[in-house]
Amino acid sequence: MAPASSILLLSTMIIAFLASGVLSDPDPLQDFCVADLTASPGVNGFPCRNASSVTVEDFIYREMVNPANITAMNRAGAVFGTVLRFPGINTLGLSMARLDLLPEGIIAPHTHPRATEMVYVEEGSVYAAIVTADNRLFAQVLSRGEVMVIPRGLIHWQMNVGRNNAKIIAALNSQLAGTQFVGRSMFGSSPQVPDEVLEKTFFIDNTTINQVRSVFA
Ligand SMILES: *[C@@H]1O[C@H](CO)[C@@H](O)[C@H](O)[C@H]1NC(C)=O
Ligand SMILES: *[C@@H]1O[C@H](CO)[C@@H](O)[C@H](O)[C@H]1NC(C)=O
Ligand SMILES: *[C@@H]1O[C@H](CO)[C@@H](O)[C@H](O)[C@H]1NC(C)=O
């Protein structure tokens, strides 16, 4: 092959590699790699447990059988099936969650920095929304059986607008998508975000700032 065309081929392969790498977790190089959670995480995920000690139980996750613990603050809760709780998904590039919402409950505005998400409404009636980077709100009330996709990294939420409990199953294309709540990040961080920053961001005084902070304390 002529040098020019091999350089072109190499650049194309590098571009394809980079493009695939930014869309979800990297592809595994083995059939499975059940995480050894006792090892400290490496640069990108956990090392594999010895394959001869792996059993069918490593491929099954049962924590989503029961409803999530509901927090009084949001009247909602989540069971996360990330690699930290379900080591069998290590290196496989996906995870799941179960969301339970009492009437008027909300999974408050948050982002997943490392994953695109799909939410499937299994029960109830849910006001589901996305705000894009250019501040467009895409929102809709979803009913049983309906699905919404939430592009990676965008702020989104789900709120129960029905009379009964709502239940949502979420799938994410990262084994550890990260969940960053907007309110808690700004008002519930430790150490605190300085008053001056919050005053200049939300145009509120320190009395209001302290009121909101106390909710997250
Ligand atoms: C994995 O476990 C098997 C059975 O106990 C053992 O024979 C083998 O040496 C182990 N492999 C490694 C890499 O530790
Ligand atoms: C719910 O709370 C109990 C008691 O604190 C805890 O043992 C359990 O792991 C929690 N469940 C989830 C899914 O977080
Ligand atoms: C709150 O803001 C007022 C007005 O800027 C200031 O005088 C006061 O010292 C601040 N209080 C605290 C606890 O930071």
pLDDT in tens, 114-173: 999 999 999 999 999 999 999 999 999 999 999 999 999 999 999 999 999 999 999 999
Q: Tell the residue nearest (CA) to atom 10 of ligand 2.
A: 69
- Give the model's pLDDT for residue 1: 41
Ligand 3 and 214: CB distance under 6 A: no
Q: Which residue has the tokens 């190089």?
A: 29
CA distances from 80 to 8, 56, 97, 192 (A): 43, 20, 4, 26
181 alpha carbon to ligand 3 midpoint, in Å?
Answer: 27
Integer CA distances (angstroms), 213 to 29, 67, 180, 190, in order: 45, 28, 16, 11
Confidence at residue 45, expressed as pLDDT on a 0 to 100 scale: 84
- Rounded Cα distance, 211 and 217, in Å: 10
Q: Find out whether the beta carbon of 50 lies less than 6 Å from any atom of ligand 1.
A: yes
The C-alpha angle with vertex 70 and arms to 68 and 74, in degrees rounded to 5, equals 130
CATH annotation of 4-178: 2.60.120.10
Confidence of residue 13 (pLDDT cuts 50, 70, 90): very low
List the beta strands (DSSP E) in the chain: 76-81, 95-101, 106-111, 117-123, 125-131, 137-143, 147-150, 155-160, 166-172, 180-181
Q: DSSP assignment, residue 71?
A: B
Place of tokens 């400290």: 40
Percent above pLDDT 90 for the chain: 81
Is 51 touching ligand 1 by the criterion CB < 6 Å? Answer: no
For the chain, the structural domain boundaries read 4-178, 181-217
To test the pocket of ligand 2, the residue of 69, 82, 86, 179 to mutate (highest count of ligand atoms within 8 Å of its CB) is 69
pLDDT in tens, 35-53: 999 988 777 789 999 999 9
